[in-house]
Structure 1
Amino acid sequence: MSLLRTRGLTRRFDGLTAVEDVDFDLPEGQVRALIGPNGAGKTTFVSMLCGRIWPTCGTVEFAGRDVSALPAHKRIALGMAYTFQITSVFPRLTVAENVGLAARRVRLEGEGARLAQALKRVGLGAHHKALAGDLSYGHQRLLEIAMGLAQEPRLLILDEPTQGLTDAEIDAFKALVRALKAATTILLIEHNMSVVMEVADRVTVLDFGKVLAEGPPAAIRADRAVQAAYLGAPA
């Protein structure tokens, strides 16, 4: 059964169709990558999944429930968590306080232990007393992931999580995703194709607001239509 499902999902802005008639199924326990060129509709699509914007038409289902009309905070309470493409931490709060706020959004018991575990998993355990605004951009990205993990979501949506990370941090992120997949379904919006090819079970490609292709990473890499639209010819 799909944990996340859309049918005919469409969003128009003043006559411009950003996402058009997208049918999408994400089974529980899968790591799915969503890729495509700039302007392909990825952010708009994810924003509709999360409840940040409403679809013009079509439906979003989560865990068998139609959530198309639910606001973002109610989807979070059902088990969705997401990070933004642009960092959205509270810069004047400590790292620990940021994660604590995220945990309290879903009223978790044992918050302290979950907070510490989330920070340790992303490599920020030693920075728990630092102000979030004093972290490097890459560490702020990792803090956002920790904030998502603290909610113990059924679905974790990560929008450009490796942007600004060092090579070593990217390697650690890949290991983190592999460790998480046993307990959490992950939707990954990512431009770093090394990350996509190494951690995703399946890849969905958007182009001009429509699904261009979908399949295992190797098949997507070899797909001529995907190469023409996004990847370029293989070396």
Structure 2
Amino acid sequence: MKHETDVILSTEGLGKSFDGLRANHDIDFTLRKTQVHALIGPNGAGKTTFVSMLIGRLEPTDGAIWFDGRNVTQMPAHKRVAAGMGYTFQITSVFARLSCHENVALAARRKQGGDAAKVEQVVADALSRVGLADRTADVAGDLSYGHQRLLEIAMGLASAPRLLILDEPTQGLAESEITAFKALIRELSAETTILLIEHNMSVVMELADEITVLNFGEVLARGTAAEIHANPAVQAAYLGTEAS
């Protein structure tokens, strides 16, 4: 496959089966640099399986994954992170007994090594960008679920990723926090590529440059927000009254 220079992530014929049951099948996917790309679909559509293969948590049954022109299909998850792929999970994965500062510092040290001054700068910047600058000393486990999601995004930012994959980032956020989150994504999209897996359709339609819809483990449609909103097959499978 010829890989275009403006493409940061792509898959070819990607598939995953569990004990003969097909979770993903023949997914061809392209994500362009500095794009906000949303992945949507009904529950059980195969989104989590697909993302788990992208980040190296699951090994594909079929197909290949390319990151910045390099075949990473067999690359372990930690090496994908080192190569510039950052992600947050649908279920928060913060270190509950550590402070917000310590959580983000762990991520920053992986990137900055022993440069303590640089680590402190990165931590302060990341917490500020997600609106947690006043929570730096708070224990992560004491935060609300929504604030834990924001902390996890700060941890992702601290690793300075070229691609940031956010799985249900607005889940548990208040409306005011969602507004701040949308502003953050617009700011980040100028410097990094974002893959957004999100159920909040107003967030998707407002932020995404392009949208891919999965259904029954396959790509149902791909296009701009306007094209997806108007697609009859997508309306029938997923959007329903939200598209009207």
TM-score for both structures, normalised by structure 1: 0.98
C-alpha displacement at 1:26, in angstroms? 0.3
- Residue number in structure 2 paired with 1:96: 101
**Contact 1:76-1:106 within 8 A present in 2 as well:** no
Q: Deviations over 1:40-66 (max 9, x none)?
A: 000000000000010001100001100
Match for 1:123: what amino acid?
Answer: G
Displacement after TM superposition at 1:208 (Å): 0.4
Distance in 2 (alpha carbons) for counterparts of 1:73 and 1:103: 14
Question: Post-superposition shift, 1:107?
Answer: 3.4
Aligned equivalent of 1:42: 47
Instruction: State the alpha-carbon separation in 2 of the partners of residues 18 and 103 from structure 1.
Output: 34
Question: Once the 2 structures are TM-superposed, how far is the Cα of residue 135 of structure 1 from its aligned partner?
Answer: 0.3
Alignment RMSD (CA, Å): 0.8
1:201 is aligned to 2:209: yes
Partner of 2:76: 71
Q: Could you tell me which runs of 5 or more consecutive residues in structure 1 were left unpaired when the two chains were aligned.
A: none
Q: 1:51 aligns with which of 34, 49, 56?
A: 56
The superposition leaves residues 20-78 of structure 1 with CA deviations (integer Å, 9 ceiling, x where unpaired) of 01000101010000000000000000000000010001100001100000110000000
Aligned to 2:3: none
Question: Aligned to 2:112, what secondary structure does the other structure show?
Answer: coil
Helix, strand or coil: the match of 2:191? coil
Aligned residue for 2:131? 123
CA-to-partner distance for each residue in 1:95-147, whole Å, 9 max, x for gaps? 00000111122335511111110000000000000000000000000000000
- Counterpart residue type for residue 170 of structure 1: I
For the pair 1:154 / 2:162, whether they are aligned, the reply is: yes
Report the Cα distance in structure 1 between the residues aligned to 2:97 and 2:158, rounded to whole angstroms.
20
- Runs of 4+ in structure 1 deviating by more than 6 angstroms, as ranges, are none
CA distance in 2, matches of 1:52, 1:71: 8
- Uncovered stretches (5+) of structure 2, i.e. residues with no partner: 1-5
Please list, as runs of the form range in 1=range in 2, the aligned pairs for 1:152-191 lying within 5 A after superposition.
Answer: 152-191=160-199
Match of 1:111 in 2: 119
In 1, distance between residues paired with 2:111 and 2:83?
9
Q: What is the SS of the residue equivalent to 2:125?
A: helix
* Letter in structure 2 aligned against 1:104: R
Which residue, 12, 16, 27 being the options, matches 1:7? 12
Give 1:205's aligned amino acid. V
The sequence identity of aligned pairs, in percent, is 66
How many residues get paired? 235
Q: Does 1:227 align with 2:235?
A: yes
